[in-house]
Amino acid sequence: MNEKDLDSMLENLLRKPDPYIDDRGFTDKVLKALPSRPVTLRMRVFILSFCAIVASITAVALTPISVINHYYNLFSTFIMNLYSHDTTGALNNIHIGTIPVAGIAVALLLVWGAVIVVRSR
């Protein structure tokens, strides 16, 4: 078979309305040999949420009560000043960097996981 015959044969095959070229079951064998997905999306969300909860409980358990009370007071004062219309400038005395961000991050992580589970259904 010369090059022109091969080119015309391939051109005819590619111009047919059915673009499938018979591969004698090769594609099916390859797809069957592929490993299945080891972890589903729901399992990933569950594992991520579980680890976040365990990390939060561990962090709280290892933190002295005085530190927890200090940050709770700072946070509650910050929230109260946000909703008060006090013009004395009390809000300026609280630095936003002192607010514990880890709890907020974990809460957002759990909300994100719940959104993914709901969207995957």
Q: What is the pLDDT of residue 89?
A: 56
Domain that includes residue 28, residue range: 3-33
Which DSSP string do the residues of 97-115 spell out, in sequence order? GGS-HHHHHHHHHHHHHHH
- pTM comes to 0.34
49 and 10 in a common domain: no
In single-letter form, the type of residue at position 31 comes to L
Nearest to 106 by CA among 37, 59, 67: 59
27 and 49 in a common domain: no
17 and 68 in a common domain: no
55 and 86 in a common domain: yes
84 and 28 in a common domain: no
31-69 pLDDT, tens digit each = 888 887 666 777 888 888 888 888 888 877 787 888 778
109 and 66 in a common domain: yes
First-to-last C-alpha distance (Å) of the chain: 55
How many domains in the chain? 2
74 and 52 in a common domain: yes
With contact defined as beta carbons under 8 Å apart, do 78 and 101 qualify?
no
